[in-house]
Amino acid sequence: MNNKINPERGFAELEFEQRLIEAQKVMKSYKLDGILVTTPQNIRYFTGYDSQFWESPTRPWFVVVPASGKPIAIVPEIGESEFKKTWLDEIKSWPSPRPEDDGISLVKSTLEDLNKTYGQIGAEFGKEMTIRMPVRDLFKLKDSVNTNIVNGSDAIWDMRIIKTNAEIERIKFICSIASDAYNELPSKLRIGDTEREAVNKLKIDVLNRGADNVPFMPGISGVGGVSQIVCGPSDRILKNGDILFIDTGSTFDGYFCDFNRNYAFGEISSEVERVHETLWLATEAGIKAAVPGTTTDEIWLAMNTIIQDAGAIGNNVGRLGHGLGLQLTEPPSHRPGDNTRIVENMVLTIEPVMEYAPGKMIVHEENIAITKDGSRLLTKRAPRQMPIIK
Amino acid sequence: MNNKINPERGFAELEFEQRLIEAQKVMKSYKLDGILVTTPQNIRYFTGYDSQFWESPTRPWFVVVPASGKPIAIVPEIGESEFKKTWLDEIKSWPSPRPEDDGISLVKSTLEDLNKTYGQIGAEFGKEMTIRMPVRDLFKLKDSVNTNIVNGSDAIWDMRIIKTNAEIERIKFICSIASDAYNELPSKLRIGDTEREAVNKLKIDVLNRGADNVPFMPGISGVGGVSQIVCGPSDRILKNGDILFIDTGSTFDGYFCDFNRNYAFGEISSEVERVHETLWLATEAGIKAAVPGTTTDEIWLAMNTIIQDAGAIGNNVGRLGHGLGLQLTEPPSHRPGDNTRIVENMVLTIEPVMEYAPGKMIVHEENIAITKDGSRLLTKRAPRQMPIIK
């Protein structure tokens, strides 16, 4: 069913070596002797380790990226054999679960063995990150280790916010799969379907086309638009005059797409047509604004001017797009005050939102990669007219 | 395609009222003035709030459960309208993302408004939990709020480890869906399929039968068994003599099943037959041992004796089963030293693992609910003979 040529899964060792070189440069500028990571995305970024077992929160996993030398993994025995297949040389493990010492003494000794140039280690303490270990154990580690553990998230984001070409290739592939499935969806939808049935049709098509997983696919409907975009699908039945919003973060080889499409049922009001056209134009403006050298504030402004001029009454989303990659949402944010400088190889969503009447919201979204002098679409552009399901 | 009668999604308000009464009893015994939760599972447990938007790590969400009175939600504006549909009365919100104060001042004032009987608030600091907010903000909150924030995980687990009948009904439903899909899978598998194709067939069937999602479905194969159970599927082609292990944590209404099945390809060696029979009997013994009044250590021993007597050489999983519910894995653990007393309405996996030769492991798993005087199977028992795909 999938006649695309998939990018290979997994990265060449050279890719990880280059990420490490970059990481060690960044660490130097932040005066860090190393970085300690615990989350699926960051561990995968530095090691390539891929597992669905992150769904089990019982055991913590750790990777230490030193200021010189290769990353060191400290993982439960259940993961040891597969970690030995990564490009890392040093894998430490312990029999887990062992709540009285779930890896903490091993992490402590590993951190204490690092060269102490600056006396501080960066950890996932900052924005759009959490730390995946019991906080109780983090406190224990912080209090007993002979170095400071500080916020390393800014350093990590400095690296991850700029994608390699191999990363962009994967995002483009999952965008392309989801685009094709969205484009085929009108032929599968019927008035009388429930939101849940509509989402399931898309989900199964996305899987059949070669996505690895579909961690995020809300589907929400309402007369002339939706009141929110985070909860759904429900068993609501799609009827004449409804707009169905479907969004997806599907994945390939760890990388997300993140974009939505809208479908009208039966008939579409001229007001909805007008708002749809406004958002289509705002998306054009956002894409055009997203060039190296500008800022997220300016991208926001390019879209927001069009939306406000068309009579928007609100936006509970709080921004008009963001970064994406190993996470569905990553820095930066297109919003006033974010003020991130746009550079080549960022991957961004362009996501204008317009509430045009109380509880009636329409959202457009595309994914782009910043090029040397502009951007390129990773998604296949939404149709200028909203598809109507008769 | 689904001719089962689904339990309704969502819980009656009475269910949340009873959870709150229980929570407030437990808080008293732990001397807590309230509990602060940030993770999807705990927020859903106390409020019923269901969203796929947890996949976006950008915005933190908070619920405070006070020692008296109803829970209070402190959520980003993007979630406010749907939170108003829960049974809660008090919803506070702020325009997010706002990294300089992403809900922290609101959480601080909410905690400071609580009655200070004990001067401490429990948070998700302990085992098999993480806290879903930037640690930097947690430190800021801890340092500035006029009460102590301490480990509240034990108190939360005291509640969540014992399921209500309505929770068990949902786990039983998703177990039943996955059981039927596993039973049908042999008719869909072929020698020459890849692991990935095999998993996708099962995944799509599970979705078609009414599962909400499939966050966890590793598929791993090897000659006569597998070397690990956490990474996969890959593009490995299934051939004569292989054993395919597929595990799943699929969900319905927020609740997980967690069990695996094994399929032989072409032919099965007498050694694999012997190990399979050993594990089938160990599962029987584990189920029989799981009765109110016993302990996790004793359940472990009942299984482990049989596995050791049959010549097991190792177990990198570190235990022989665990709790499940809103998480794929929850306390307790069937392992020496866990020593949790088994009581009515716990939901447990019985999961004997046997490595019978280096790198050759076979795993069985069933899900049970503890009853007044024994247990009942939630899964449909694995066949005593491993299905063989010809």
The verdict on residue A133 lying in a domain is: yes
B151 and B200 co-located in one domain: no
Confidence at residue B3, expressed as pLDDT on a 0 to 100 scale: 46
Which residue has 């969203």 as its token pair? B51
Neighbours of B314 (CB within 10 A): 12
Q: Which of A160, A191, A207 is the last residue of a domain?
A: A160
pLDDT for residue A4:
56
Please indicate, yes or no, whether residues B246 and B302 belong to a single structural domain of this protein.
Answer: yes
Tell which of B111, B142, B160 closes a domain. B160
Q: How far is it, in rounded angstroms, from Cα A300 to Cα A338?
A: 10
pLDDT of residue B315: 84
Of B143, B160, B177, the domain-final residue: B160
At B80, which CATH number?
A: 3.40.350.10
A261 and A370 inside one domain? yes
Both A234 and A361 in a single domain?
Answer: yes
- Are B155 and B177 members of one domain? no
Of B81, B215, B228, the CB nearest to A55: B215
Classified as helix, coil or strand, B54 is helix
- Of residues A112, A106, A115, the one with CA closest to residue A137: A106
Say if pTM beats, i.e. exceeds, 0.95: yes
**Has residue A5 been placed in a domain?**
no
Q: What is the pLDDT of residue A5?
A: 67
Contact B134 A126 (CB under 8 A): yes
- Say if residues A193 and A214 touch (Cβ distance below 8 Å): no
Confidence of residue B4 (pLDDT cuts 50, 70, 90): low
Residue B59 lies in a domain: yes
- CB contacts < 8 A, A to B, total 196
Chain A residue with the nearest C-alpha to that of B327: A56
From the list B9, B78, B127, the residue facing A230 with the nearest CB is B78
B200 lies in the same domain as B99? no
d(CA A349, CA A328): 10
Judge: A81–B329 Cβ closer than 8 Å, yes or no: no
- Residue A143 domain flag: yes
Task: Label residues A123-156 b or e (16+ Cβ within 10 Å = b).
Answer: bbbbbbbbbbbbbbbbeebbeebebebbbbbebb
Taking 50 as the pLDDT cut, the residues of chain A under it are 1-3
Query: B24 and B100 share a domain?
Result: yes
Tell me how far apart the alpha carbons of residues A237 and B150 are, in angstroms, rounded to a whole number. 46
Q: What is the pLDDT of residues B191-229, one digit of tens each?
A: 999 999 999 999 999 999 999 999 999 999 999 999 999
Q: Using omega within 30 degrees of 0 as the cis cutoff, is the peptide bond preceding B332 cis?
A: yes
Nearest to B200 among A123, A136, A207 (CB): A207
**Contact criterion met (CB < 8 Å) for B129 and A127:** no
| Domain-located, residue A174 | yes
Helices A40-47, A13-29: crossing angle, 10 deg rounding: 110
Q: What is the per-residue DSSP string for B80-143?
A: HHHHTTSS-SEEEEE-S--GGGSSHHHHHHHHHTS--SSSEEEES-STT--B-S-HHHHHHHHH
Kindly determine whether residue B56 and residue A329, on different chains, have CB atoms separated by under 8 Å. Answer: yes
DSSP-derived pairing of the beta strands B148-151 and B120-123: parallel
Token output for A301: 């402004």
Q: What is the ipTM of this complex?
A: 0.97
Given a cut of 50, whether residue B71 has pLDDT beyond it is yes
**Percentage of residues in chain B having pLDDT higher than 90:** 97
Question: How large is the average pLDDT for residues B287-314?
Answer: 97
Q: Is A55–B227 a contact, with Cβ atoms under 8 angstroms apart?
A: no
Whether residues B214 and B94 share a domain: the answer is no
Residue type, A250: S
Which amino acid does the sequence have at B217? M
Number of domains in chain A: 2
Phi, psi of B299 (to 5 degrees): -65, -45
Burial environment of residue B376 by CB neighbours within 10 A (0 to 12, 13 to 18, 19 or more): exposed
In angstroms, rounded to a whole number, what is the distance separating the alpha carbons of residues B357 and A268?
65
Establish if A146 belongs to a structural domain: yes
The one-letter amino acid code at B211 reads: A
In a domain, B4, yes or no: no
| B124 and B262, same domain (yes or no) | no
- Contact state of B318 with A123 under an 8 Å Cβ cutoff: no
A119 and A265 belong to one structural domain = no
B95 and B180, same domain (yes or no): no
Task: Say if residues B261 and B182 touch (Cβ distance below 8 Å).
Answer: yes
For residue A250, tell me if it sits in a domain: yes
Contacts of B249 in chain A (CB under 8 A): 55
Separation of alpha carbons A114 and B298, rounded Å: 43
CA B54 to chain A, closest CA, distance in angstroms equals: 9
Contact status, residue A84 vs residue A117, Cβ threshold 8 Å: no
The pLDDT of residue A382: 98
* Domain region containing B107: 13-160
A143 and A204 share a domain?
no
Q: Is the dihedral of CA B166, B170, B172, B176 positive or negative?
A: positive
Report whether B310 contacts B317 (CB < 8 A): no
Mean pLDDT of chain B: 97
Q: Give the pLDDT score at A3.
A: 46
The CATH number linked to A347 is 3.90.230.10
Strands (DSSP E) contained in chain B are 34-37, 62-66, 72-76, 90-94, 120-123, 148-151, 213-216, 219-223, 242-252, 255-256, 259-265, 322-323, 330-333, 347-350, 353-357, 360-363, 366-370, 375-377, 388-389
Choose the closest CB to A231 out of B82, B98, B130. B82
Query: Is B125 close to A136, i.e. CB distance below 8 A?
Result: yes
Distance of CA A285 to the CA centre of its chain: 23
* pLDDT at residue B7 in the model: 85
